[in-house]
Each structure stands twice: as C-alpha cells, then as structure tokens.
Structure 1
Amino acid sequence: MTTQTLDATKAEAFAERMLGILNHAAIALMTSIGHRTELFDTMAELPPSTSQHIAAAAGLNERYVREWLGAMVTGRFVDYDAIAQTYNLPPEHAAFLTRSAASNNMASFTQFIPVLGAVEEHIVDCFYKGGGVPYSEFKRFHAVMAEESGQTTVTALFDHILPLIPQLTEALQHGIDVLDVGCGSGGTLNKLAGAFPNSRFTGYDFSGEAIATAKVEAQRHKLNNIQFEVKDAALLDERDRYDLITTFDAIHDQAKPDIVLQNICHALRSDGVYLMQDIHAATNVDGNLEHPIAPWLYTISCMHCMTVSLAYGGMGLGTMWGKEKALEMLAEAGFKQVEIKQLAHDFQNDYYIIRKH
C-alpha cells in the first residue's frame, strides 16, 4: 500500500480556490436574477443612485434590491459610494451585462445555473440508478435556450453563418426548400423565412411547447412560407426533399443521433448542403484541457444534454462528443464530404459544411 505526502502549499492554494468558487457560484445566481429582473438594464441608464431610486426605476421591492446590490458590490460588479450611499454600474461592466450588449451579454447565460440546479436531485438519483432526466423536468429551459440562440445564432446568421457556404444567400433569395431539425422555438427559422420570402421553410422539434412558441411567432410576423411540426427526428422519413438542412446545437442531445444523421442524409437532395453547428471540442477529455469553458460544457452535458438523451433510452453522447466522434458518425450516416469552419467571434462552436457527394 502506498501513501501520498500532502503538499501543504498545494492544499492551501486549492482551499483558496474553493472559496473563490463558492463566491463565483453565488455571484452567478445573483447575475441571473439581475438579468431576469432587468436590474442591469435599469442601472445602465441611471446615474449613481440609491437603492430606493434603483428599485423604483426597476419597479421592484427595495429590500430585495438592496441585498442584491450587496452581492454585486462585494462581487465587484457594481461600484458603491459609501458617503452618498449610491450604486453605479460601470459602463465597462454594462457592456457584458445588459440586453443592449446583444451577443456580448453574458448575464443571460447565467440563467442556466438555476435551471440546472433545479434538477440536481434527479441527477443525483441517476448517479445511483442510471437512466436520465426528461425534458419535462427542466423548467424555463426552452425560454433560456431561445434567448441564448437569439444572442448567438440569430445575430450572426446573415453576416457570418450563411456566408460560410458559397452562393447560399443567393440560392435562398431565388427560392429553395429548407429544413431545420431541432428548431426549438423557431427563432432562427422565422428570421430566415422573413428575410427570404421565395424560399420554403420547415421546422421540426420534439417539444410541443417549443413548436407552439414558434408557430405564434410565425403568425405574428405573418409568414406564409414556413411550417412547424412536433416531430421526433429519429422518425423522420423523407427522401430527397430539401436543398438545405440545418441543425443548431441539436445533434449531441438526440436519443438516437446516429439515426437522426442518417435521416438527414436521406432527406437531403443529392446536390444539397447540411449545415451542422455543434460544440467545438475534442472527443477525449485530454484534448479539452485548454478549452476556455470546458468545465461549464461538461456540466451542461451531465445535467442536461447527456441525461435527456439517456432518459429516452438514448446514446447519451453529451455536449462534448467532440469533432472526432462527429466526423465518424457523419461518415457512418452516409455523408462523403465534410468541411469544418469556425467564426472568429465564436470560440464555442464548429460549423460543419456537409454534402452527400
């Protein structure tokens, strides 16, 4: 039997790191609340103000706002003037915390922390019993995902994503058939349908709640060239139907991603293009040691993407299935040509340009 000698310096450094993690976790929760209550947006428009003034401007309870401000001040998000007893959100911080920051708004992503925390008991049970946690247990998940997609995919769609495929914009203007698999609340597809009235758009998603939201939005914008349907992509049975098929962050949490990819290959016309946006990562953990948000993505995987797949008896690929596994599965599905591209502003995703021939 061997014993390891304790390195006191290393132990102390780790203890300090754990204290930092506790503080950062707490701030993440408060940041989510600040986003949902629009406190950051309110403060960004105010001069240095008292808690009473901030609460009144936001239409919120002052006592709760004051305690929230305590976390924000000690967390160094908000500046505090002890003499005037006023609080100020620096513009350098507002640039990453407000809705006007658009794709730079990192506060919106902290909403995933409480969403995932709400299923912790179920996840712990899965550690002992196996299985998974179904979509129905995740409250607000589709709403948060729709907001994230609006900030990332939708805002980059026309200037960055579509230009990855030569002549795609021109083809959409002329008129083609497009399918989005795992379309969620339809933000991306509705935006495309509005921009390209000559093309025809179809969106499939497993969630009835998400599809209902997508339909309402399409009706609100009076879009006549789009249809949404609740459908399990593993049951998709169409042949040579679409010129463009897209999946945005949707393959890795499918119960049967291998079948879904085969079905997409069958549904794509011979000269069509499949655009797959998915997480930029390596399949093996040692390839992700320098990934800037690897712990975050493995956590999202364990507490959502992997577990929802396993809940339906699926493969449980998880968020971090990685480029190597993705390429292997695309080849097995029947695709012959794959090009992987990245966008300068998007370190989280890879964009696979995929063809049948």
Structure 2
Amino acid sequence: MRLNSVAPRTCRDRSKFCVAPSAAWPALAARAVASSTSRWGWAPAGADVSEPAKAAIAVRAMRRRMVRRAYRSWTSTLCLSLSVGVYGSGSRGYSQTMGSIDQDTLKKLSFRVWSFKMGEVVALMIHLGDRLGLYEALAGGGRNHAAEIATTTNLDERMVHEWLLGQAAAELIERHEDGSFEMSREAALVLASEGELPFACGAFYGGETPEGTDAIVDAFKSGAGFTYGDMGDRSADQLDRMNAAWLERYLPETVLPSLSGLIEKLEDGADVADIGCGGAIAISSLARRFPNSRFVGFDPSEPAIRAGRRRVGDLQNVELHIASGEDLREPQMFDFIMTLDCMHDMAHPDRVASAIKAALRSDGIWLIKDMRCGPNFDDNLNNPMLAMMYGFSVSGCLPSSMSSEGGMALGTLGFPPVVAEQMVNDAGFDSFQIHEFESDPVHYYYEVAH
C-alpha cells in the first residue's frame, strides 16, 4: 500500500450539495441519517414475495455484498494506518530495535486491539440503554421512530436517535427503510428481560467513571449536553494521547505540504490560529518547526489549556487562550487557521465559520479536519468501527455540540462534505477543496479560502 497522499479532489458539482439554509442546521443531521435505505437483503422463508419486492431484495443483497467487500478494504487500510501511519515499520525506531515487521500480522493485531476498544464503547452504550429504559421501550414490540422512543422514555430525541443508530451499527437492533427501529424477540430476552436466563445487561456497568456516566445520563434527560471542559483533566489527557502522533508528525509532514504555498508562508513567518487547540499539540510542534511564525491557540476547555501551557513551556512564539472560535475579534489577523477534528463538537460551528471568514487574511487558508463519513446512515456501513463512532458521539461529541442553547447537535458523524461545504459557503467563502489521504482513512481534510 502506498503511504503517501493521493491527489486532492475538488468538489465541482455543487448541485449535489444543495441542502437546507442555515436556519435549518439543528435538524440537518437528523434528517440526513433518517433518509437512508435498509441494510438487509432477505425475506422470511416461505413468504409470498411480489416481483418488485424480489427486485428490491436482490438490490439489498447486492448492497450487502458490496459493504462486505468495502469492509475488508477499509479494515486493511485502517489497521495499517493506525499502526504505522505514514512512517512505515520504522516508526519511532522500532525496526532498529525489534527487527523486521510483518505487515499482515501488524494489521490483524491492530484491528483486534481496536475491536476491543469498540467493545468498550458499545458496552457503555448497552449500560445506558439498560439504565435509561431504552431497551425496555424498544422491547414493547413493533417498529418505533426515535421520537416515539424519546416520548416513551421522556428523554431528549437527538440523544436517543444517535444512540439508536449506534445500536443498529452494532447489530443489536434493526433499522428499517423508513428510519424506524425494531428489536427482535431474541434481543429483547438478552437486553430487556431482567429475571430471564438470557438477560445480560446486568453485567454492564458503563466503563466510565460514575461521574462521567451520570453526566451522559443527565444529557439524555435534559438535552442540555456538557462541554469537554466539564469532562475534566482525565478526558483532556486521554484526547491528547490519542491524537498526539497525528498532530505532531502527520499534520506537518503529510497534510500541510498539500496546501497551496503554505509551507513557504510558515517558513517566512505567518500568523497562525488553532481553534479548538486542545492541549496545544499541533501548534507547539509547528512552533518548533517554524520559529519565524507566530501561533495562537483557542479552546474553551480550561483543563485542555492547562495541559497546553505545560506542553508549550518557554516557547516564545506561542500563546494560548481559554476562548472559543466565536471570540475571534480582530479582522484579517491570521494567514492560516486550523480547526482540527472539532467542528462537529461545536454547538455553533456556523458562527465560528463566520468569525474565521472575518479573521482570515485575503490570501489566507483555513484547514478543517473532520470525520470521513457520508450524510446518511447507510453511507457509513462500510466502516467496521461505526458502532464505536456512534458511541463516541453519545458519550462526548454530541453532548458537546448540545452544550449551549440552540446548539446544532451535529455529533461525531454530523460534518460530512455536504454539511462542511454548505457551511463554509454560507459564511462567505468561495473556495472549498477536499483532500483525501490513503494513509488516513478516518478523516477528510478541507482546504477553504476566500
């Protein structure tokens, strides 16, 4: 497998990206995932199936085979990228100390480890389904839409819908063509029948700290969400460890050189902002590589900024602020602005986009990194970690994007290209380009300019 980048792909056909105006953003993601088609291609044995129905079943069966093939391809790419990224088997000097690396073994082991992580996240979702009465509501029989389950359980509909999609991705319940969900009798015995021998939910306590799980439960009940700052130092440190290699090395060595003329600007001296900078991993790395440039990090999370200030140390060309992207005040202040894996976490990313439009100089570049996904549930079925993505959303990204009044509630998979392009167009930008890298099958990188 080539580990260098592929050519950037420009979105020329804007007609396929026609979506609702900005006023409709809060409902956009929910409408998108509700418009998908059924995953399964089968009919009950002995059923009287009409010719049109047979054709539809055949199409669904073909789609399922295609998903399986894509699954194998996606898995191979994901495992290798998570294991070695763009550095090959010699990453961090391992080839010198451990001898040659068998890439097939590495891919299989990496996928096995990440499968355990998916199990950890899905285990939390099972605990929430049991604790909040969601399984009990589903076990009532028949098909139910998210709104009906939310009404029955007196929970927030957006949180419930995201949880239901995750359960369908984990194949614990079924999602139908009309966007409704259904629990089988067998699943009801395992997940919703306390006192019966098959019942398993009692074994799941959540995996989170009690305080963390309580915060998620409160988000379901109130629909108010919580911020990454509310999650505390432990969460901030975990996010930094998970993203460090990608921000310290992959970003400057693979992504930034693909952006038009950016490296030369940074070498000469540029003003750079990192919005949602977290623990300042990206800008502290860039500040050391490009000492002539000046870097400013913004993040509303106090624990993240504390960690960032420790990481920055005595670097003279970096400053950090406990603030959001909406707080950008100076016009045409920056040559380069980054929002790395955080637009879907923001309550009001549209406002941040407008603030960036004003703060970016006329020849500046805005880099957005976000999840590689489609707008519909079925578009993402080739992702073998889909259930984990929805678990991440329910336990962090979605509550964050609901943490202030009127938040858009996008969630982990709520910022696909169709949403990203419409949002930057609404903010007044004219240039939108998608960069895809073979060595990162998890993210899209959007290059935006005036």
Give the TM interval when normalised to the shorter protein.
Answer: 0.5 to 0.7
Partner of 2:412: 319
How many Å separate the matches in 2 of 1:307 and 1:172?
A: 36
How many Å separate the matches in 1 of 2:439 and 2:225?
A: 34
Partner of 1:182: 276
Deviation string, structure 1 residues 209-229 (Cα, Å, up to 9, x no partner): 11121112211xx31111111
Q: Determine helix, strand or coil for the equivalent of 1:184.
A: coil
Partner of 2:343: 251
Partner of 2:227: 134
Q: Please state how far the C-alpha of 1:97 moved relative to its aligned partner.
A: 11
Partner of 1:227: 319
Deviation string, structure 1 residues 296-328 (Cα, Å, up to 9, x no partner): 212211221111221222211111111111111
Matched, 1:210 2:304: yes
Where in structure 1 are there 5+ consecutive unaligned residues? 8-89
How many Å separate the matches in 2 of 1:258 and 1:339?
A: 18
Q: Please state how far the C-alpha of 1:272 moved relative to its aligned partner.
A: 0.3
Q: Please state how far the C-alpha of 1:127 moved relative to its aligned partner.
A: 3.1
Q: Please state how far the C-alpha of 1:288 moved relative to its aligned partner.
A: 1.4
How many Å separate the matches in 1 of 2:274 and 2:120?
A: 24
Q: Please state how far the C-alpha of 1:96 moved relative to its aligned partner.
A: 7.1
Q: Please state how far the C-alpha of 1:236 moved relative to its aligned partner.
A: 2.1
Q: Please state how far the C-alpha of 1:339 moved relative to its aligned partner.
A: 0.3
Aligned residues: 268
How many Å separate the matches in 2 of 1:283 and 1:272?
A: 29
| Contact persistence 2:118–2:387 (CA under 8 A) | no
Q: Please state how far the C-alpha of 1:107 moved relative to its aligned partner.
A: 9.5
Q: Please state how far the C-alpha of 1:249 moved relative to its aligned partner.
A: 0.2
Where in structure 2 are there 5+ consecutive unaligned residues? 1-42, 46-100, 125-205
Q: Determine helix, strand or coil for the equivalent of 1:243.
A: strand
| Contact persistence 2:118–2:388 (CA under 8 A) | no
How many Å separate the matches in 1 of 2:432 and 2:269?
A: 24
Deviation string, structure 1 residues 178-237 (Cα, Å, up to 9, x no partner): 000000000110000001010111101101111121112211xx3111111111222322
Q: Please state how far the C-alpha of 1:125 moved relative to its aligned partner.
A: 4.0
Matched, 1:286 2:348: no
2:353 aligned to which of 261, 270, 273: 261
| Contact persistence 1:96–1:105 (CA under 8 A) | no
| Contact persistence 1:184–1:214 (CA under 8 A) | yes
Which range moved further: 297-306 or 257-266? 297-306
2:254 aligned to which of 160, 168, 177: 160
| Contact persistence 1:193–1:226 (CA under 8 A) | yes
How many Å separate the matches in 2 of 1:197 and 1:97?
A: 41
Counterpart AA for 2:384: P
RMSD between superposed Cα atoms in Å: 3.3
Q: Which has the higher contact order (CA 8 A, sep 6+)?
A: 2
Aligned pairs for 1:76-225 within 5 A: 95=106, 113=121, 117-118=207-208, 119-135=212-228, 136-137=230-231, 140-219=234-313, 222-225=314-317
Q: Determine helix, strand or coil for the equivalent of 2:343.
A: coil
Deviation string, structure 1 residues 34-87 (Cα, Å, up to 9, x no partner): xxxxxxxxxxxxxxxxxxxxxxxxxxxxxxxxxxxxxxxxxxxxxxxxxxxxxx
Q: 1:287 to 1:273 in 2, by over 3 A?
A: same
Q: 1:345 to 1:112 in 2, by over 3 A?
A: farther
Partner of 1:329: 423
How many Å separate the matches in 2 of 1:275 and 1:200?
A: 17
How many Å separate the matches in 2 of 1:108 and 1:140?
A: 21
Matched, 1:341 2:435: yes
Q: Determine helix, strand or coil for the equivalent of 2:344.
A: coil
| Contact persistence 2:366–2:448 (CA under 8 A) | yes
Q: 1:123 to 1:216 in 2, by over 3 A?
A: closer
Which range moved further: 136-145 or 187-196? 136-145
TM-score (norm. length: structure 2): 0.54
Which range moved further: 188-197 or 204-213? 204-213
Q: Please state how far the C-alpha of 1:259 moved relative to its aligned partner.
A: 0.3
Q: Please state how far the C-alpha of 1:163 moved relative to its aligned partner.
A: 1.1
| Contact persistence 2:233–2:303 (CA under 8 A) | no
Counterpart AA for 2:435: K
How many Å separate the matches in 1 of 2:253 and 2:245?
A: 14
| Contact persistence 2:233–2:304 (CA under 8 A) | no
Q: Determine helix, strand or coil for the equivalent of 1:329.
A: helix
Q: Please state how far the C-alpha of 1:266 moved relative to its aligned partner.
A: 0.7
Deviation string, structure 1 residues 154-194 (Cα, Å, up to 9, x no partner): 22123211111132112111111100000000011000000
Partner of 1:44: none
